[in-house]
Structure 1
């Protein structure tokens, strides 16, 4: 039987999708764009609700200044698109062609677009008709992980009369502030993060196989109604603490060592990461002291996280606590980053990270959600780490993930 808590195939209301599209079109109008070709999986999902694993093959969402959108994918995705997407026409291509081939026919020929004898809908043709009359200004996400260089080259060479502009970040920035519907999905994801973390911590013991701990974590999250997240759980022994993006191996955890745990639940593609350092048996006194500094620095970030603040000011609040603890030599590239929608291979929302950095003028706004990290590893004076998903509401920061705070000793 289906899990009653599972994410719906189409989690966004018609009004939500319409609001998002209107916001994108307002940005397009401000830049004088006739058309946008979006290829970032997170942005396509944001505008259309298409949630599947088919993004390994390039997709293009054609967004004209007015009229219906058109979603170009492999033809075999027709059923999935029909089941999930309510606000875009579909144009499929066979495996002897690319998304660029179909898109160019829609944009340049403005007639029937065929792929393996399949005719694109009249709505798909009409949607782009106005945009390609004369010299079109077309936006392309040049830094998208979903846009191979060959595909971009094929598009631009196929329409040399068009003016091509990079619209990387146009939709991403609109995703920074979460609506009420999105905030509800984030809270569901956070509850799943806590379930997954709790299962991992419970499974940690002297001699426990690394794979068994990971399996317990993932299984618990899925059974609770979660999807596979953009990153799998990062669960590493002390010997590999410094490896940023590796996870479990073939070994066993041992008494007296630390275990690094960073993971996220996933609900309707929304993520709410958290992290903990777990000690097996006993933690060194210096690491227990470092846990207090980590917690104090985390709390300082919460105090600085206010609408209108700059990201560099938030980072400075974290660094001030670290400096006061005698660690003025220690610096991090950020103390957190924006999170929300994510598709493999990342939960960061794409192939870039919008971080709370020491040099960032990003303006903090209510509705933003962050993975806040207080990371003090390799300091020479003990190691510790704690992170949580935090939503900034009008009333202030809300810590969404509630897994046991440090220090955690098993």
Structure 2
């Protein structure tokens, strides 16, 4: 939808890192189908990812992007570092990909024939085998797509590389960090507009309409999903959004949203109270804020995700909530395409059992959530970047409690 936000040097460095990871796994090439990973290597930002895209990454030479022919204009505008091969709607991306791959294999064999004059019989039997990495858990890699590739290419050894590029994306470059900060400013503008509209009798649709308008006017693009703004009575619906009702005095309003700039997201969450807040909820807010601060202190290079979660849980334990457990106290964020801002169809969470190593340059959606405790309810979340100066909270909307 927009111009490629990355320099040639930035894209070249990413490709070199991917090829280094490929070499470590002895791959001849990688086939990437996750929208976030294709964007990471090429900068292609459009809504065409509903149809299969395949980025062919050889160990040497130019990358090749395979998708529908009708996407040519967008790809020629945005993609500078990959060749384009488009297919008509009378065939599938797999049909074209097979032809492209077979041509690549043939070229490789011709090159090998020039270089090798004498090989053993065993080497002759294995010389035609190509070792290819594929993202088997990608949302862009359907069963039919994968089957078509496997059925048509019988000289391939397939290797699952689902997390190869995802892992590289966890650490953000200075250029990416700048985009995260811009996305955070959009998040704050959207949250401010939504909170200003919340009042007794305010229609849910009107609140969200103002939120969307502020997000766009602040320089934001369509986010991966959300915003999620709904009354406390519908809190458990998780990823449901606004309805046809109106907010009422005495109830909380749940807000979770993210601004998006060049596909980078910086989410935040708040619990807004209409008219008043119960005493027990106000007391729980103090615990939530302490737990959030504990996470910030725990986020240091070299620690494990489980240690960060333990810091959050310790505050809950000290507050008499030792039986209360969350599946995580946050997760990694950055590039996101619909239908999520989590970076794909997996969530890299700060869980109690995760040995993920925290590194400088990582960015997170940190959540401090104490709801349904029987002793009060409160919730807070912010986008956080681990910079050279420590954990930096990117979103600046007041943490609350907020009463409207």
TM range (shorter): over 0.9
SS in 2 for 1:73: strand
Q: What stretches of structure 2 of length at least 5 have no aligned partner?
A: 113-125
CA contact (8 A) 1:294 1:384 kept: yes
Aligned position for 2:254: 260
Aligned position for 1:85: 79
Could you report, residue by residue, the CA deviation over 1:205-263 in whole angstroms, capped at 9, with x for unpaired residues?
11111011111101101011110100120101011011211110010001110000000
| Runs of 4+ deviating beyond 2 Å | 125-133
Change (3 A) 1:133 1:79: farther
Aligned position for 1:238: 232
For 1:209 and 1:94, the matched residues in 2 are separated by: 46
**Equivalent residues in 2 for 1:11-160, closer than 5 Å:** 11-110=5-104, 134-160=128-154
For 1:382 and 1:331, the matched residues in 2 are separated by: 15
Residue number among 188, 208, 226 corresponding to 1:194 in the alignment: 188
Provide TM-score, normalisation by structure 2: 0.94
Aligned position for 1:384: 378
1:216 aligns with 2:210: yes
Could you report, residue by residue, the CA deviation over 1:262-302 in whole angstroms, capped at 9, with x for unpaired residues?
00000000000000000000000000001000000000000
CA contact (8 A) 1:66 1:127 kept: no
Aligned position for 1:297: 291
**Alpha-carbon shift at residue 55 of structure 1 (Å):** 0.2
**Alpha-carbon shift at residue 133 of structure 1 (Å):** 7.3
CA contact (8 A) 2:2 2:78 kept: no
For 1:247 and 1:347, the matched residues in 2 are separated by: 15
1:313 aligns with 2:312: no
Change (3 A) 1:128 1:148: farther
Change (3 A) 1:130 1:210: farther
**Alpha-carbon shift at residue 109 of structure 1 (Å):** 3.8
**Alpha-carbon shift at residue 406 of structure 1 (Å):** 1.4
SS in 2 for 1:242: helix
For 1:127 and 1:83, the matched residues in 2 are separated by: 30
For 1:403 and 1:371, the matched residues in 2 are separated by: 14
CA contact (8 A) 1:36 1:140 kept: yes
Aligned position for 1:181: 175
1:168 aligns with 2:162: yes
**Alpha-carbon shift at residue 363 of structure 1 (Å):** 0.5
CA contact (8 A) 2:27 2:133 kept: yes
For 2:109 and 2:361, the matched residues in 1 are separated by: 34
SS in 2 for 1:202: helix
Change (3 A) 1:347 1:35: same
Aligned residues, how many? 391
**Alpha-carbon shift at residue 96 of structure 1 (Å):** 1.5
For 1:270 and 1:74, the matched residues in 2 are separated by: 25
For 2:279 and 2:164, the matched residues in 1 are separated by: 48
For 1:128 and 1:268, the matched residues in 2 are separated by: 40
For 1:20 and 1:238, the matched residues in 2 are separated by: 43
For 1:129 and 1:226, the matched residues in 2 are separated by: 50
Alignment RMSD:
1.7
Q: What stretches of structure 1 of length at least 5 have no aligned partner?
A: 1-6, 112-124
Aligned position for 1:10: 4
**Alpha-carbon shift at residue 404 of structure 1 (Å):** 1.1
- Which stretch shows the higher mean deviation, 91-100 or 126-135? 126-135
For 1:384 and 1:69, the matched residues in 2 are separated by: 48
Aligned position for 2:197: 203
**Alpha-carbon shift at residue 395 of structure 1 (Å):** 1.4
**Alpha-carbon shift at residue 8 of structure 1 (Å):** 4.9
Residue number among 233, 242, 245 corresponding to 1:248 in the alignment: 242
Could you report, residue by residue, the CA deviation over 1:355-405 in whole angstroms, capped at 9, with x for unpaired residues?
000000000000000000000111111111000000001110000000011
1:354 aligns with 2:348: yes
1:286 aligns with 2:250: no
CA contact (8 A) 1:110 1:129 kept: no
For 1:325 and 1:174, the matched residues in 2 are separated by: 38
